[in-house]
Structure 1
Amino acid sequence: MRSIHVVTHPEASHHVEELVGGWHDSHLTPAGLREAASIARALRREIPEDAEVELISSDLLRTRRTAEEIAGLFGVEPVLDRRLREKSYGEAEGRPQEWLDKRFVPPPAVGDRMGHDEGVPGAETKAAFARRVYAAMEEILQHPYEHQIIVTHGFALSFVVASWIRMPIDSLGYVNLRAPSGSITHLREDDFFHNRQLARLGDTRHLEG
Structure 2
Amino acid sequence: MKEFNNTYLIMRHGQSEANVADIVVSDPANGCSKYGLSEMGKHQAREAALAVSNQNVDLIYCSDFKRTKETADIVAQVLSVEPVTDARLRERFFGQYEGKSSASYDEVWKKDALDSDQTEMGVESTTSVRRRAVAFVAELEQLFFGKVILLVSHGDTLQILSSAFHDIESGQHRTLPHHETGEVKTLAKAGSSKNREFTL
Q: Sort the Cα spacing of 1:97 and 1:3 in 2 relative to 1 into closer, same or farther, 3 A.
A: closer
Matched-pair contact (CA < 8 Å) for 1:12–1:27: yes
Residue identity matched to 1:47: Q
**Distance apart, 1:186 and its partner CA:** 1.3
Higher strand share: 1
Distance 2:112 2:180 in 1: 25
TM-score normalized with structure 2 length: 0.78
TM-score normalized with structure 1 length: 0.75
Partner of 2:10: 6
Higher helix share: 2
- What secondary structure sits across from 1:88 in the alignment? coil
Q: Sort the Cα spacing of 1:28 and 1:101 in 2 relative to 1 into closer, same or farther, 3 A.
A: closer
1:29 to 38, 49, 52: 38
Q: Sort the Cα spacing of 1:153 and 1:108 in 2 relative to 1 into closer, same or farther, 3 A.
A: closer
Partner of 1:116: 118
Partner of 2:150: 149
Partner of 1:16: 20
2:170 to 150, 169, 172: 172
Partner of 1:65: 70
1:47 to 34, 55, 60: 55
Residue correspondences, number: 183
- What secondary structure sits across from 1:124 in the alignment? coil
Q: Sort the Cα spacing of 1:37 and 1:102 in 2 relative to 1 into closer, same or farther, 3 A.
A: closer
- Name structure 1 gaps, 5 residues minimum: 198-209
Greater RCO structure (CA 8 Å; 6+ sep): 2
Distance 1:188 1:105 in 2: 25
Q: Sort the Cα spacing of 1:102 and 1:157 in 2 relative to 1 into closer, same or farther, 3 A.
A: closer
- Name structure 2 gaps, 5 residues minimum: 196-200
Distance 2:51 2:109 in 1: 39
- Which deviations, in whole Å up to 9, do the C-alpha atoms of 1:104-135 show, x marking residues without a partner? 6942765xx01212x31x32122222211122
Matched-pair contact (CA < 8 Å) for 2:9–2:149: yes
Distance 1:105 1:196 in 2: 27
**Distance apart, 1:21 and its partner CA:** 2.8
- Which deviations, in whole Å up to 9, do the C-alpha atoms of 1:34-86 show, x marking residues without a partner? 11111111111x224xx6x0111011000100000111122222110111112
RMSD between aligned alpha carbons? 2.8
Residue identity matched to 2:160: F
- What secondary structure sits across from 1:14 in the alignment? helix
